[in-house]
Amino acid sequence: MGRFTMDQADHYGGQGGAGFFKIVNDGETARVRFLYGGIEDVEGCAVHQVKINDKYRYVNCLRDYNEPKDACPFCREGMPQQAKLFIPLYNVDEDKIQIWDRGKKFFAKISSICSHYPNVVSQVFEVERHGKAGEQTTTYELFPVGQPDDKTLQDFELPDIFDGAVMDKSVNDMEYYLENGQFPPTGDADEAPAPRRATRDEMPVRRRTPANGGRDSF
């Protein structure tokens, strides 16, 4: 639930912030391989952003775009939904597998790359940032470096976005968060109970259900 293809991207909410792969200065570049075979490997993910202690984390949205908001407690309570691309890549300069957090509009760039390279991972790209740190109008240009080689996806260990970038929570977990301002403890240090109860400003407002059981929907 919450994953979508390029054709479904417009059915999901806005875009969001940063990720594990970053280039932060205007004109800065990095060489990467996108860990895709083709456009069929590219998936978006609909998420919500929540605060856990002093950190903001993404949580997987539990509903598809054509389902009622009741399918996801966070949607039901009016928490903003973000449509994201968590792009797996190999950072050539740092010799690391990373995830690049991008908004759904980046689908167009990825689609263009896939149309020119039948095996995307075989091509190294230089990513160049245009925009100072913090600028909302920042863009990124992608330039091929050299010629495609014989690399395939089997040469890399693909990251799982639900093993770090996005938290995968159940309906009961979300209901618990709405009541308590935190998720039930799981042993994850980021999810350990805070030393104080979340303030009203930090917690989503839980609306009372009308007597007739009505809910908001698209």
Over the stretch 111-161, which tens digit does the pLDDT of each residue have?
Answer: 899 999 989 999 999 999 999 988 888 999 999 999 999 999 999 998 888
- Report how far apart, in Å, the C-alpha atoms of 9 and of each of 36, 136, 166 are: 18, 21, 18
Both tokens assigned to 158: 């693909």
The pLDDT value recorded for residue 190 is 55
Q: What is the mean pLDDT of the chain?
A: 81
Would you state the torsion angle of the CA atoms of residues 140, 146, 149, 153, taken in this order, to the nearest 10 degrees? -10
- In terms of pTM, does the model score above 0.85? no
Judge contact between 124 and 89, C-beta under 8 A: no
Report the candidate in 13, 11, 105, 107 with the shortest Cα–Cα distance to residue 65. Answer: 11
Question: Which sequence spans correspond to the domains of the chain?
Answer: 3-185
The stretches in the chain having pLDDT less than 50 are 1-2, 4, 6, 8-19, 189, 192-218
In this prediction, residue 185 carries a pLDDT of 86
CA distance 35 to 88: 5
Q: Pick one of 3.90.198, 3.30.70, 2.40.50, 1.20.910 as the CATH number of 3-185.
A: 3.90.198
